Amino acid sequence: MTKNLDFQIRLAIPREAPVLSNIAISAKRSNGYSESSMDACREELTVTADDMSIGVYWVAEANAIQGFFCLMENSEKRVGEIQSFIRSPDLATWGNRQASLAKKLWNE
């Protein structure tokens, strides 16, 4: 991964669901969870094309997808709720770059 992390934010496309799933699983695994724990939550962490048709998924790219978030609309309350906000575990060792991604995602 390159150290030039000038993030671009865009809507995710359904064919990227496996990439988003891999990021979510890698991020969880990076917190030291056992394989049995990972197996128990794998379905919950997996993003599908169906998920992407229900929620609005956005990705942050810097030469590759580095993170994503999902907004779910609550039309009854007329608000949106953040369903997922996940960054690549590779960013954890990059100091302020993780905060930079979060800030950029939040402000977009």
> What pLDDT, in 10s, does the model give residues 73-100?
877 877 788 888 888 887 765 555 555 6
How far apart (Å, rounded) are the C-alpha atoms in residues 13 and 10?
Answer: 9
Residue listed under structure tokens 């930079």: 100
CATH code of the domain containing 37: 3.40.630.30
Residue 39 domain boundaries: 8-107
Per residue, the 3-state secondary structure of 27-62, as one string, reads HHHCCCCCHHHHHHHHHHHCCCHHHHHHCEEEEEEC
Query: For position 13, what pLDDT does the model report?
Result: 96
**Domain assignment of residue 1, yes or no:** no
Q: What is the pTM of this model?
A: 0.78
Q: State both tokens at 78.
A: 């007329």
What's the total number of domains in the chain? 1
Residue 29 contacts residue 21 (beta carbons within 8 Å): no
